[in-house]
Amino acid sequence: MSAALRMDAAPHGATAAARPWGAFAQPDGATLFRLWAPQAPAGMTLEVEGRPPLPAVPDAEGYVEIRVAGCPPGTRYRYRLADGTAMPDPASRLQDGDIRDPSIVADPAPYPWRHPDWRPRPWEESVIQEVHAGLCGGYAGLCRRLPDLVALGVNLIELMPIADFPGARNWGYDGVLPYAPDRSYGSPEDLKRFVDCAHNLDIGVMLDLVCNHFGPDGNYLPRYAPSFFRTDVTTPWGAAIDFGQPAVRRFFEDCAHRWLDEFRIDGLRLDAVHAIFDEDWLRALPRRLRERLPGRRVHLVVEDDANRAGLLEAGYDAQWNDDLHHVLHHLLTGERQGYYGDYGQEPAAILARCLAEGWHYQGGQPSAHRGGAPRGTPSAHLPPTAFVSFLQNHDQIGNRARGERLTALCPSTARLRAAIALQLLSPAVPLLFMGEECGSRTPFLYFTSHADPALAEAVRRGRREASEVLMDDAAPRSELPDPNAEATFAASRPEPCNDAGREWMGYYARLLDLRARCLAPRLRGARSLGAQALGPAAVRAAWRLGDGSRLTLYANLGSAACPLPQDLRAAAPDGGALRFETDCEALLRFRLGELAPDCLLCFLESAA
């Protein structure tokens, strides 16, 4: 039986009050139902298929515990309030349909894994592709994509959230049943089969996990456990979750453990942890999860707008580096609206700092976009692989009014290719967004499938009114894509790879092959040797790699050539150290003392 389903599987150090939530099948054919409902209204009941309703009365610690004999896996159940409101189990492992349907007692029988001892590559060797399972044809469609990703050089797939959400179409961040895989993409067995297939091809699987909020439809916790939430702090998605409650901590820790244990997911990306107002829980989570999974290599990544180095020091492998993305996006597109306005002044200096130190915002830089407030902590002491670099991801494409990709926004293909080379040949762990490798021009739009017309209209109106999302789009707001329309989902599916797409794939594959052969084996122990701006859009950055070799990148993402300073001309690496150049003319002009427009040069010098 998976530890994620055992009623007595308590993590190290858990208090007696912090008990696991859910329905737990017992060896004798019974099922134990447990729900934390400290403010459960009188008359709340548990309804088990084929049985009369059972009173759901919390004990002194707030838990409802009901043992039902002769209740095997596959049995349907739900909770009901006295006013007739029927509710799924918030820790449901499986739903009989959608979020408002009954929950199902999950089968604890183990899946016959073909590769039970497989381990992902060490973190610093990772190359990630972020994908939306629904747009890829579900888990079966993802399986069919795997050989192409192997050929490309990807070794870690990151799934956007797959926890049960309302309807059949959603980004996943509206989930309300975080333990249950949404069945729109396939069955739980299909998910396990996909992970097994990925492992067979030496590809790991990460999952984007949302622990900071619940979606707007189908969250009943406030009805019987309002103390699950705080009353003094809010987030962009509503009331903040109260991680000071032991039961709440246990709920999310067990949730994370379930995905890693039962589904053998190889890592988690925790969404927007700046909206989790309990840094102690965040700091403790890596240790607690790894203690519960001895012998496993588990990759843990955060998205943290607060830029807190302390989280990375506590055991998270890396953080998504929005600062690097934002300055690169400005250099590629010229955009200054929204948060990009913070990166329009001296962008080359900002880019150099991000390459050398990770974040631009490290506590001492006021943000005009945030009204002059500083954010962040120093990050120069962290290894370069503590940052995930990307030119595109679901947020940065989808949170635009029309979901444009860089192929539509960047005026110069040569400039975009230079930025891609900069990303893939620098030590930070790279992330690609699905379709990026083919040069896709298909938009990635925000989509939902809310059944409630009022909620669908509220989402539609919210998207039209969100200035951060619109990015100063010139089209009338009434003409923006309807998130709830099926056509919006269909329009977001990347087109099949054509001849031009195959050329893009060849470019990515060449760079990732160079990364795998020449950089990945040397990245452990790498450290920055500094970076500097050479011109308005040009930088030089260098790193001492783990084996003592020296990696130096010269990039110019501007339309004008940039002269090299005299001291750099004298110290320029020799031709034998060159590993990549965007074109032969760029190398020739470098030898003559200037960086050509829209170019990148990569030198790797062996240790003396």
Catalytic residues: 271, 303
Q: Is 324 annotated as a binding residue?
A: yes
Q: Is 129 annotated as a binding residue?
A: no
Structure letter (DSSP) for residue 555: E
* Distance from C-alpha of 166 to C-alpha of 453, rounded to nearest angstrom: 13
* Distance from C-alpha of 400 to C-alpha of 315, rounded to nearest angstrom: 33
* Distance from C-alpha of 278 to C-alpha of 235, rounded to nearest angstrom: 13
Six-digit token string for 345:
């002044």
Q: Which residue is it, tokens 């594959």?
A: 509
DSSP, residue by residue, 169-235: ---STT-SEEEEEPGGG--HHHHHHHHHHHHHTT-EEEEEE--S---SSS--HHHH-GGGEEEEEEE
Looking at residue 357, its amino acid is: E
Q: How far is residue 437 from each of residues 77, 324, 382, 424, 495, measured CA to CA in Å? A: 45, 20, 29, 12, 12
DSSP, residue by residue, 52-95: --EE----TTSEEEEEESS--TT-EEEEE-TTS-EE--TT-S-B
Q: Is 196 annotated as a binding residue?
A: no
Q: Is 274 annotated as a binding residue?
A: yes
Q: Is 272 annotated as a binding residue?
A: yes
Q: Is 23 annotated as a binding residue?
A: no
Q: Is 132 annotated as a binding residue?
A: no
Six-digit token string for 533:
């701006």
Q: Is 223 annotated as a binding residue?
A: no
Six-digit token string for 470:
């619109």
Q: How far is residue 545 from each of residues 212, 356, 357, 528, measured CA to CA in Å? A: 36, 13, 15, 8
* Distance from C-alpha of 235 to C-alpha of 299, rounded to nearest angstrom: 27
* Distance from C-alpha of 230 to C-alpha of 277, rounded to nearest angstrom: 10
* Distance from C-alpha of 142 to C-alpha of 427, rounded to nearest angstrom: 28
Q: Is 270 annotated as a binding residue?
A: yes
Q: How far is residue 164 from each of residues 25, 175, 444, measured CA to CA in Å? A: 21, 5, 21
Q: Which of 168, 177, 246, 257 is nearest to 210 (CA)?
A: 177
Confirm if 607 and 551 have CB atoms less than 8 A apart.
no
Angle at 447 between CA 444 and CA 450, to 5 degrees: 175
Q: Is 396 helix (H, G, I), strand (E, B) or coil?
A: helix
Q: Is 394 annotated as a binding residue?
A: yes
Q: Is 325 annotated as a binding residue?
A: yes
- In this structure, what are the phi and psi dihedrals at residue 238, rounded to the nearest 5 degrees? 125, -160
Q: Which of 166, 172, 187, 161 is nearest to 74 (CA)?
A: 187
- The length of the chain is 608
What is the Rg, in whole angstroms, of the alpha carbon atoms belonging to the chain? 25
E strand intervals along 486-583? 527-535, 538-544, 550-556, 562-563, 578-581
* Distance from C-alpha of 401 to C-alpha of 335, rounded to nearest angstrom: 14
Confirm if 103 and 88 have CB atoms less than 8 A apart.
yes
Structure letter (DSSP) for residue 570: H
How far is CA 274 from its chain centroid? 14
* Distance from C-alpha of 92 to C-alpha of 193, rounded to nearest angstrom: 21
Binding site residue list for substrate? 269-274, 322-326, 394-399
Binding site listing: 269-274, 322-326, 394-399
